[in-house]
Structure 1
């Protein structure tokens, strides 16, 4: 009977046309007077909030209407997504504040300068409310509408004070593309009356769902690496303000209630001061009071990490803000059964609205505390940096200008002070050349974000983490870097922007051959452009030294040779194509007038072989990793401009794979493949196909006898079965068995085609899964093998570290006329692990030549 009454109430709430007062009484029970000139969201949109999923264009339209009708609201577009949707920021503050908004902003920026005093109590506190970073976490975008309306239209004295004493920045949709993907799904499958059954299609989006952006990237993990256009736009705006409070609105499983920080003590960053986390507790009392008042259940100090600057709720902590995650149990539609009863869409929205307003209330009440917290944070960062063992970091490699400039651009994105070298420097056997390397002092206000970029993760005290526990960008880039331990270093001139690399052909047209060393990351981009234009290109399987217009020049494994005589186009046309390849790829291509090398193989050697243009297919769909699929798609599109074909996994066996010469299987469950599909893949490989597999897909390839290799099994499981543990420790014990992103070092064969372009046998992998490969019995097939002491950083159990050490990271082999590559890891991890994603590019271009 109770369930029936709840359902009847829900239907009345959602399906009847009720007036604005009814909605306002539900969402704003204490508010009385609203400015009638400002339309409510339901008046503007034509439906009650909570009865329909609001598309991004509707969010944009309503915020623009608020800016027209309220002098408290000002809107700006900070960029566009890959699908051309606008990214908006709404600034809400008192009109008198907005008249001086530039001055207010500059005063807040001075918080980073330890020599300047903290802001006085007369200054407004800055609060950033960020919604819908995960597009299918349905309630947050709706909450943004209502929260903005409340602040724009409410006439009570408390709200007037909020606006006078705060600048409130609202990002209504951090992930517009994903939000619309989810909106279309939920709106397409909602029912009349709504269906609460969790099995209903409305509550179960199909692959890839709306969590991620266009390239299936989790934008909540992209704040540090900044690989996506949405992230770069947002970071640019963030560094214009440095908010005092930053809230990230999320959703979690339907059977959960509501979560806000403080976070578990063992899952906090060891390099941040405890005061940063104390700020969570200060604001938590306002959040608890607000939810207590409306009777909503909640929990704190459980489940979620708060240590990594990759997140929207934690990145601001590294700039002196109080960053907070809000997690609301999700209805994933209009209503869904849960262990707490029927969970309705309006209920989830109300919790986020209530806590968003409570955040503003708490920030205004605690602003003097927040100002002092941020000022002390930057002061202590300088002190911490000056005490750190590394007094500075130097990075850069003249052999890879592309990645050097890419890392420099990222450092500058985070507004870190970086300088040119004032002379050549050799550290730890690495040569850093003036003009091609850069230095970053540790003793600066941004030391903690510098540490995150260049140092291995500091030791962690907990073992059960929500996500990745090691994220160092410098290790990921595969670019040489070093720590300077001597405080007597000197600095060159400050660097304010990355230098655009001007691609050139270093001489006039040649009648013999053009040459491109493979060490630069963008050499792959030049190669695909040339192949796309029909140019015959060869790659060197052994190094050589050539006579060039610039003199004697060494060319490493994989270097490209473009002979003039072998082409189907005229020498002049070839020269024009090579020039465009150099310009677009931003690389330097040189020439030679002779095939007789000064050292090493000559240009007519059989060790220089022609490269076939890759035609690549990627398996996608149910059971396949959304993130890894997106990473491969992004890499091939954005790095090579290669139009990879995304095949549905269920179509294999029904289509002709002969159209493609390369097939990529990322991590996923391939056990559902039909016998016809498996046979199709096997026949395709036998006929000469190039199969590349990641993680579980590599295990599947071994199980299907595509390569005669082996996977390590857990040799301690039988012992564990006899161990007796307390039930309360179950979650932590089992979670600790996972491998959530540790960094490990491997030895890689730089003479192997998969490693062409590398100059160092030591390579860093991120380990995010439990696939552990035995080294191959074929003595030439283990391309990369973890060192005996391979562990670098991140939480990984001792048992897993022992199994990973000495195991294989990459194995290749031939099957019939084709080849199979097994990656034990994901080489494209979150778009920024360039040290290994270039190995995937090599596997695509050169994999077929390992026979």
Structure 2
């Protein structure tokens, strides 16, 4: 006779056996006994094996909150919210003593990015490893891998893992694109079947437009690290500049017929000349050996030095290169569903997840074992930025638009988000046949630690080593904003203390109260926003298509 107790016991044993099987698959060679049983596995928490279902964003956040609750190695933080009001979270995993002193560690690491400070004691500084997942929401294996990596780093009692957490601060952003993630996970979960269809033309594998790649407004967040047009990007940038990661990985998926890609990229031809060669030739190469070994242990195929480039700072895998870290792209051949037939056989969702887990752990291992190399590189990077700036002919950029102060303010805000030193223009000047008004224009010196980002924002890039590009070939934000810019060969206009925050702009009504109508000039960047505000307030608005003699009252 099977009693309720017996049934419960059998169910518990089944879950334990299933969880053990998952650990064996995703963490081969790691004894199940080496995991702290007080820390729930993703499967135990979610109720289904990882790789059998697409996990929603709320479930991912809930699991990381549970790790935060049960372990003193984990702290979960909400860094922002999306357009659809989903939270952006980052889990910081490190030794308990570091968790109690995160702000102090951030302050100590300032010696790496400020050449004016004395060099730090590198033995006492942790290396910072940032693992970022799912910037393209339908490249779904990455966020599932984030759960397994967070579990391993929290639950593993192995001496090696203990050393990692003592020598590193590991940040996990499991959902770089929460809105796109849910759009994709709903599609895959609603259209999956059993047994798993592997035909590439099956509905499960042919996600309808717009798919989950982009965010709410269909913006590709992996092209927004420099422009920062989206709230997800701005929140992520603020968090990035708290830590300045030494190693940062962006986990992606590619076509089903691909295997696994990691850097180095193609030498010289697809790399940015502003970046020290050591980033590509030493640091990337050192880590690549760890990635290769991890995939070799799984018997997984991989390739490198092709297709993907390192030219533009717009990506999550390239922006860190411009901040003294090493940014790297991981691309795994995607199942785009639970299983799909490819040129190398059937690619399954668990298989793609396992590859990302292996390279994720290899990243932490490599960063810790080569910690001194990566810390010293970051210090040298910002010191060499000043040396390179002294060699560059342009010593300062002047920018501004007196007729559109809002647009000028927005560009200033962008510069400050990138931690760039900016000064207010103290006197009205005419430069290159353009007038720049005091109080409505600004000056950016090139001689500053962020020289390489300044160069990327202002300079035009028109010559390349190679004619074959993976993506964009131009990214000057000064041109994108359409602002007047003058390049100066001296720093005479750089005066006063740097600007700490943009000025608060207020509108006004010229000409006093009107008994008939007010004119709203359409030249200001915020004119559309003002019109919407007026319409919401019940004000009747009309459009004039002809020049008018009404000049007395206008809204500015």
Once the two structures are TM-superposed, the CA of residue 416 in structure 1 deviates from its matched residue by: 0.5
Change (3 A) 1:203 1:18: farther
Once the two structures are TM-superposed, the CA of residue 545 in structure 1 deviates from its matched residue by: 9.4
Once the two structures are TM-superposed, the CA of residue 458 in structure 1 deviates from its matched residue by: 5.5
Distance 1:535 1:100 in 2: 56
Distance 1:22 1:76 in 2: 31
Distance 2:225 2:424 in 1: 26
Once the two structures are TM-superposed, the CA of residue 489 in structure 1 deviates from its matched residue by: 3.4
* Local SS of the residue matching 1:239: helix
Change (3 A) 1:510 1:464: same
1:646 alignment counterpart: none
Distance 1:510 1:110 in 2: 59
Once the two structures are overlaid, the 10-residue window that deviates more, 272-281 or 133-142, is 272-281
1:218-617 → structure 2 map (5 Å cutoff): 218-265=220-267, 266-278=269-281, 279-457=283-461, 459-511=463-515, 513-530=517-534, 533=538, 535-539=540-544, 541-542=546-547, 546=551, 588-589=555-556
- Contact residue 443 and residue 494 of structure 2 kept, 8 A: no
* Local SS of the residue matching 1:327: strand
Once the two structures are TM-superposed, the CA of residue 118 in structure 1 deviates from its matched residue by: 4.5
Once the two structures are TM-superposed, the CA of residue 398 in structure 1 deviates from its matched residue by: 1.1
Once the two structures are TM-superposed, the CA of residue 546 in structure 1 deviates from its matched residue by: 4.2
- Contact residue 426 and residue 493 of structure 2 kept, 8 A: no
Q: How high is the TM-score relative to the length of structure 1? A: 0.61
- Please report the RMSD computed on the Cα atoms of aligned residues, expressed in angstroms: 1.8
* Local SS of the residue matching 1:195: coil
Residues 232-267 of structure 1: CA deviation (Å, up to 9, x unaligned): 110010011101000000000000000000011211
1:799-838 → structure 2 map (5 Å cutoff): none
* Local SS of the residue matching 1:121: helix
- Contact residue 108 and residue 119 of structure 1 kept, 8 A: no
Change (3 A) 1:180 1:18: farther
2:26 alignment counterpart: 27
1:76 alignment counterpart: 77
Once the two structures are TM-superposed, the CA of residue 68 in structure 1 deviates from its matched residue by: 1.0
* Local SS of the residue matching 1:227: coil
Structure 2 residue 48 is the aligned partner of structure 1 residue 38: no
2:11 alignment counterpart: none
Distance 1:456 1:169 in 2: 34
Distance 2:460 2:381 in 1: 22
2:63 alignment counterpart: 62
Once the two structures are overlaid, the 10-residue window that deviates more, 166-175 or 456-465, is 456-465
Larger radius of gyration: 1
* Local SS of the residue matching 2:311: coil
* Local SS of the residue matching 2:444: strand
Larger strand share, 1 or 2: 1
- Contact residue 421 and residue 437 of structure 1 kept, 8 A: yes
Once the two structures are overlaid, the 10-residue window that deviates more, 63-72 or 242-251, is 63-72
Once the two structures are TM-superposed, the CA of residue 530 in structure 1 deviates from its matched residue by: 4.6
Matched residues, number: 537
- Contact residue 111 and residue 119 of structure 1 kept, 8 A: no
Residues 402-436 of structure 1: CA deviation (Å, up to 9, x unaligned): 10001011111111111111211211011111111
Once the two structures are overlaid, the 10-residue window that deviates more, 128-137 or 21-30, is 21-30
Point out where structure 2 has 5 or more consecutive residues left out of the alignment.
Answer: 1-13
Distance 2:342 2:242 in 1: 42
* Local SS of the residue matching 2:453: helix
Once the two structures are TM-superposed, the CA of residue 98 in structure 1 deviates from its matched residue by: 1.5
Once the two structures are TM-superposed, the CA of residue 531 in structure 1 deviates from its matched residue by: 5.9
Distance 1:21 1:47 in 2: 13
Distance 1:494 1:480 in 2: 21
Change (3 A) 1:346 1:490: closer
* Local SS of the residue matching 1:343: strand
Distance 2:29 2:242 in 1: 35
Structure 2 residue 87 is the aligned partner of structure 1 residue 106: no
- Contact residue 444 and residue 494 of structure 2 kept, 8 A: no
Residues 581-623 of structure 1: CA deviation (Å, up to 9, x unaligned): xxxxxxx53xxxxxxxxxxxxxxxxxxxxxxxxxxxxxxxxxx
- Contact residue 424 and residue 434 of structure 1 kept, 8 A: yes
Once the two structures are TM-superposed, the CA of residue 372 in structure 1 deviates from its matched residue by: 1.1
Residues 630-682 of structure 1: CA deviation (Å, up to 9, x unaligned): xxxxxxxxxxxxxxxxxxxxxxxxxxxxxxxxxxxxxxxxxxxxxxxxxxxxx
Once the two structures are TM-superposed, the CA of residue 18 in structure 1 deviates from its matched residue by: 5.1
* Local SS of the residue matching 2:529: helix
Distance 1:143 1:22 in 2: 16
Distance 1:229 1:511 in 2: 41
1:836-847 → structure 2 map (5 Å cutoff): none
Once the two structures are TM-superposed, the CA of residue 535 in structure 1 deviates from its matched residue by: 2.3
Structure 2 residue 90 is the aligned partner of structure 1 residue 85: no
Once the two structures are TM-superposed, the CA of residue 107 in structure 1 deviates from its matched residue by: 1.4
Once the two structures are TM-superposed, the CA of residue 334 in structure 1 deviates from its matched residue by: 0.8
Distance 2:170 2:237 in 1: 17
Once the two structures are TM-superposed, the CA of residue 464 in structure 1 deviates from its matched residue by: 1.0
- Contact residue 393 and residue 489 of structure 2 kept, 8 A: yes
* Local SS of the residue matching 1:74: strand
* Local SS of the residue matching 2:332: strand
Once the two structures are TM-superposed, the CA of residue 111 in structure 1 deviates from its matched residue by: 1.2
Once the two structures are TM-superposed, the CA of residue 507 in structure 1 deviates from its matched residue by: 4.8
Distance 1:303 1:119 in 2: 39
* Local SS of the residue matching 2:320: helix
- Contact residue 445 and residue 494 of structure 2 kept, 8 A: no
